[in-house]
Protein backbone atom coordinates (compact mmCIF):
# COMPACT_ATOMS: atom_id res chain seq x y z
CA UNK A 1 0.00 0.00 0.00
CA UNK A 2 1.35 3.37 -1.01
CA UNK A 3 2.22 5.71 1.84
CA UNK A 4 1.87 9.31 0.79
CA UNK A 5 1.19 10.77 4.25
CA UNK A 6 -1.64 13.00 3.03
CA UNK A 7 -3.07 13.60 6.51
CA UNK A 8 0.29 14.59 7.99
CA UNK A 9 1.02 16.87 5.04
CA UNK A 10 -2.37 18.57 5.34
CA UNK A 11 -1.85 19.01 9.08
CA UNK A 12 1.50 20.69 8.49
CA UNK A 13 0.01 23.06 5.93
CA UNK A 14 -2.89 23.97 8.22
CA UNK A 15 -0.55 24.66 11.15
CA UNK A 16 1.52 26.94 8.93
CA UNK A 17 -1.61 28.83 7.86
CA UNK A 18 -2.81 29.10 11.48
CA UNK A 19 0.48 30.69 12.52
CA UNK A 20 0.50 33.00 9.52
CA UNK A 21 -3.11 34.11 10.04
CA UNK A 22 -2.83 34.10 13.85
CA UNK A 23 -6.08 32.19 14.26
CA UNK A 24 -7.22 28.62 14.80
CA UNK A 25 -9.01 26.42 12.33
CA UNK A 26 -12.70 25.71 12.70
CA UNK A 27 -15.42 23.88 10.81
CA UNK A 28 -12.98 21.18 9.72
CA UNK A 29 -14.59 18.70 7.35
CA UNK A 30 -12.62 15.67 6.15
CA UNK A 31 -14.30 14.93 2.85
CA UNK A 32 -12.90 11.66 1.60
CA UNK A 33 -12.87 9.42 4.69
CA UNK A 34 -15.58 7.18 6.07
CA UNK A 35 -18.89 5.80 4.82
CA UNK A 36 -20.35 9.24 4.07
CA UNK A 37 -17.75 9.93 1.38
CA UNK A 38 -19.18 11.27 -1.82
CA UNK A 39 -17.81 9.81 -5.05
CA UNK A 40 -17.54 13.44 -6.17
CA UNK A 41 -15.22 14.45 -3.30
CA UNK A 42 -12.34 16.31 -4.88
CA UNK A 43 -10.57 17.65 -1.82
CA UNK A 44 -8.95 16.12 1.22
CA UNK A 45 -10.59 18.54 3.62
CA UNK A 46 -12.14 21.95 4.07
CA UNK A 47 -11.83 24.30 7.04
CA UNK A 48 -12.15 27.94 7.99
CA UNK A 49 -9.56 30.36 9.29
CA UNK A 50 -11.25 33.56 10.31
CA UNK A 51 -13.72 34.46 7.57
CA UNK A 52 -11.90 32.48 4.88
CA UNK A 53 -12.85 29.02 3.65
CA UNK A 54 -9.89 26.81 2.70
CA UNK A 55 -9.93 23.55 0.76
CA UNK A 56 -6.91 21.28 0.62
CA UNK A 57 -6.66 18.94 -2.31
CA UNK A 58 -5.10 15.49 -1.98
CA UNK A 59 -1.64 16.58 -0.97
CA UNK A 60 1.65 14.86 -0.33
CA UNK A 61 5.32 15.68 -0.41
CA UNK A 62 7.84 13.53 -2.24
CA UNK A 63 11.30 13.55 -0.63
CA UNK A 64 12.83 13.06 -4.09
CA UNK A 65 11.69 12.73 -7.71
CA UNK A 66 10.26 9.29 -8.42
CA UNK A 67 9.47 8.51 -4.77
CA UNK A 68 5.91 7.48 -5.57
CA UNK A 69 7.06 5.08 -8.29
CA UNK A 70 9.64 3.58 -5.92
CA UNK A 71 7.03 3.12 -3.20
CA UNK A 72 4.72 1.37 -5.66
CA UNK A 73 7.36 -0.95 -7.12
CA UNK A 74 9.55 -1.68 -4.07
CA UNK A 75 7.66 -4.69 -2.64
CA UNK A 76 7.55 -6.46 -6.02
CA UNK A 77 11.23 -5.75 -6.67
CA UNK A 78 12.90 -6.24 -3.32
CA UNK A 79 10.91 -8.97 -1.55
CA UNK A 80 11.78 -11.65 -4.16
CA UNK A 81 15.41 -10.52 -3.99
CA UNK A 82 15.39 -10.75 -0.20
CA UNK A 83 13.89 -14.25 -0.31
CA UNK A 84 16.36 -15.44 -2.96
CA UNK A 85 19.42 -14.12 -1.11
CA UNK A 86 18.19 -15.55 2.21
CA UNK A 87 17.69 -18.92 0.53
CA UNK A 88 21.21 -18.92 -0.89
CA UNK A 89 22.74 -17.86 2.42
CA UNK A 90 20.55 -20.06 4.62
CA UNK A 91 23.59 -22.05 5.80
CA UNK A 92 24.92 -18.90 7.45
CA UNK A 93 21.59 -17.70 8.80
CA UNK A 94 21.28 -18.87 12.36
CA UNK A 95 18.80 -17.27 14.75
CA UNK A 96 19.84 -13.71 15.45
CA UNK A 97 21.95 -13.29 12.31
CA UNK A 98 20.96 -10.25 10.29
CA UNK A 99 21.99 -9.54 6.73
CA UNK A 100 21.80 -5.95 5.58
CA UNK A 101 22.01 -5.12 1.90
CA UNK A 102 22.46 -1.57 0.66
CA UNK A 103 21.37 -0.62 -2.83
CA UNK A 104 20.96 2.77 -4.45
CA UNK A 105 17.33 3.87 -4.23
CA UNK A 106 17.21 4.15 -8.01
CA UNK A 107 18.93 0.82 -8.73
CA UNK A 108 15.90 -0.48 -10.61
CA UNK A 109 14.52 2.83 -11.91
CA UNK A 110 13.52 2.55 -15.53
CA UNK A 111 14.54 -1.11 -15.72
CA UNK A 112 12.39 -3.82 -17.21
CA UNK A 113 11.46 -6.73 -14.99
CA UNK A 114 13.75 -9.01 -17.05
CA UNK A 115 16.70 -6.76 -16.12
CA UNK A 116 15.67 -6.83 -12.46
CA UNK A 117 15.60 -10.64 -12.58
CA UNK A 118 19.11 -10.64 -14.08
CA UNK A 119 20.33 -8.43 -11.23
CA UNK A 120 18.73 -10.78 -8.72
CA UNK A 121 20.41 -13.80 -10.30
CA UNK A 122 23.79 -12.04 -10.33
CA UNK A 123 23.46 -11.20 -6.64
CA UNK A 124 22.49 -14.79 -5.81
CA UNK A 125 25.48 -16.13 -7.75
CA UNK A 126 27.77 -13.69 -5.95
CA UNK A 127 26.28 -14.72 -2.60
CA UNK A 128 26.94 -18.38 -3.44
CA UNK A 129 30.55 -17.56 -4.33
CA UNK A 130 30.98 -15.79 -1.00
CA UNK A 131 29.45 -18.76 0.78
CA UNK A 132 31.99 -21.10 -0.83
CA UNK A 133 34.82 -19.02 0.64
CA UNK A 134 33.46 -19.36 4.19
Domain that holds residue 51: 6-56
Q: Are residues 79 and 47 in the same domain?
A: no
CA 11 to centroid of chain Cα atoms:
19
Q: Does residue 61 sit within a domain?
A: no
Percentage of residues in the chain having pLDDT higher than 90: 16
Q: Does residue 1 sit within a domain?
A: no
Whole-prediction pTM: 0.47
Q: Are residues 74 and 123 in the same domain?
A: yes
For the cut 80, the answer to whether the pLDDT of residue 15 exceeds it is: yes
The predicted pLDDT at position 56 comes to: 87
The predicted pLDDT at position 52 comes to: 94
Q: Does residue 26 sit within a domain?
A: yes
Q: Are residues 52 and 71 in the same domain?
A: no
The predicted pLDDT at position 24 comes to: 96
Q: Are residues 74 and 122 in the same domain?
A: yes
Domain final position from 18, 35, 56: 56
pLDDT tens per residue across span 77-130: 788 878 877 777 777 777 777 777 787 777 777 788 888 888 888 877 777 777
Q: What are phi and psi of 48, to 5 degrees?
A: -115, 140
Mean pLDDT, residues 54-81? 79
Q: Are residues 35 and 83 in the same domain?
A: no
E-assigned strand segments in 15-131: 25-30, 45-49, 52-56
Q: Does residue 11 sit within a domain?
A: yes
Alpha-carbon distance of 23 to 116, in angstroms, equals: 52
Q: Does residue 107 sit within a domain?
A: yes
Alpha-carbon distance of 1 to 8, in angstroms, equals: 17
The predicted pLDDT at position 40 comes to: 66
User: CB–CB of 78/88 below 8 Å?
Assistant: no
Amino acid sequence: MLKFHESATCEGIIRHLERRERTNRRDVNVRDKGGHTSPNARVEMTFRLGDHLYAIEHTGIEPFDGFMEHQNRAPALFKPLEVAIASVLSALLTPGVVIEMHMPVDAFTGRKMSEVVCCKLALCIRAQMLLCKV
